[in-house]
Amino acid sequence: MSLIIQKFGGSSVADAERVMNVANIVANTYREGNDVIVVVSAQGDTTDDLIAKAEEINPRHSKREMDQLLAAGEQISISLLAMALEKLRIPVISLLGWQAGFNTSSAYTMARIKKIDTERVRSELDKNKVIVVAGFQGINKYDDITTLGRGGSDTSAVALAAALHADKCQIFTDVEGIYTTDPRKVPGAKKLAEITYDEMLELATLGAQVLNNRSVEMAKKYNVELEVLSSLNPVPGTIVKEAAKMEKMLIRGVTKDTDVARISVLRLEDKPGVAFKLFDRLAAKKINVDIILQSAGRRGTKDITFTVNEANAELARECIMDCFPDIDPENVIVDKNIAKVSVVGAGMETHPGTASRMFDALYSNAINIDMISTSEIKISVLVEEEVADKALSAVHAEFFPED
Ligand code: ASP
Ligand code: MG
Alpha helices in 88-230 (DSSP H): 119-126, 153-163, 197-205, 213-221
Contact present, 306 and 263 (Cβ < 8 Å): yes
97 close to ligand 1 (CB < 6 Angstrom): no
Distance CA 240, CA 317 (A): 39
Higher pLDDT among residues 204 and 91, named by residue: 91
**Which ligand has an atom closest to residue 70 CA?**
1
10 close to ligand 1 (CB < 6 Angstrom): yes
Report CA-CA distances (Å) from 215 to 78, 137, 330: 20, 14, 43
The reported pLDDT for the residue numbered 1 is 80
- Residue range 296-325: average pLDDT? 93
Nearest CA to ligand 1 atom 5: 151
Contact present, 188 and 396 (Cβ < 8 Å): yes
Contact present, 192 and 237 (Cβ < 8 Å): no
- Among 9-23, 117-131, 214-228, 338-352, whose mean pLDDT is lowest? 338-352
- pLDDT above 60: residue 140: yes
153 close to ligand 1 (CB < 6 Angstrom): yes
**CB proximity list for 266: less than 8 A, separation 6 or greater:** 301, 303, 331, 332, 333
Contact present, 283 and 312 (Cβ < 8 Å): no
Higher pLDDT among residues 244 and 306, named by residue: 306
The reported pLDDT for the residue numbered 244 is 77
Contact present, 19 and 81 (Cβ < 8 Å): yes
User: pLDDT (tens digit, 9 = 90+) per residue, 11-68?
Assistant: 999 999 999 999 999 999 999 999 999 999 999 999 999 999 999 999 999 999 999 9
The reported pLDDT for the residue numbered 208 is 58
Whole-prediction pTM: 0.86
Judging by DSSP bridges, how do beta strands 102-104 and 113-116 pair with one another?
Answer: antiparallel
150 close to ligand 1 (CB < 6 Angstrom): yes
CA of 14 to the centre of ligand 1 (A): 12
**Which ligand has an atom closest to residue 67 CA?**
1
Is the alpha carbon torsion for 128, 132, 138, 142 positive or negative? negative
- Among 342-346, 361-365, 383-387, whose mean pLDDT is lowest? 342-346
Judging by DSSP bridges, how do beta strands 226-230 and 168-173 pair with one another?
Answer: parallel
User: pLDDT (tens digit, 9 = 90+) per residue, 209-243?
Assistant: 788 889 999 999 999 999 999 999 989 999 999 88
The reported pLDDT for the residue numbered 215 is 94
Give the nearest ligand 1 atom to 42 CA: 1
The reported pLDDT for the residue numbered 247 is 73
CA of 314 to the centre of ligand 2 (A): 13
User: pLDDT (tens digit, 9 = 90+) per residue, 385-403?
Assistant: 999 999 999 999 999 998 7
332 half-sphere exposure, CB direction, 13 A CA radius: 18
The reported pLDDT for the residue numbered 184 is 82
Provide the pLDDT confidence category of residue 205 given band limits of 50, 70 and 90. low
- Residue range 122-150: average pLDDT? 98
Distance CA 117, CA 102 (A): 7
- pLDDT above 70: residue 106: yes
Distance CA 389, CA 382 (A): 12
Question: Rounded to 5 degrees, what angle do the CA atoms 282, 288, 290 make?
Answer: 110
| Cβ-based burial of 120 (10 A; exposed 0-12, middle 13-18, buried ≥19) | middle
For 20, list phi and psi in degrees, rounded to 5.
-65, -40
User: pLDDT (tens digit, 9 = 90+) per residue, 250-272?
Assistant: 899 999 999 999 999 999 999 99
99 three-state secondary structure? coil
Mutation test of ligand 1: which of 153, 158, 218 has the most ligand atoms closer than 8 Å to its C-beta? 153
Provide the pLDDT confidence category of residue 248 given band limits of 50, 70 and 90. confident
220 half-sphere exposure, CB direction, 13 A CA radius: 16
253 close to ligand 1 (CB < 6 Angstrom): no
- Residue range 133-145: average pLDDT? 98
Give the nearest ligand 1 atom to 152 CA: 8
Give the nearest ligand 1 atom to 48 CA: 4
- pLDDT above 70: residue 206: no
Task: Quote the mean pLDDT of the chain.
Answer: 94
Distance CA 392, CA 257 (A): 10
30 three-state secondary structure? helix
- pLDDT above 80: residue 204: no
- pLDDT above 60: residue 207: no
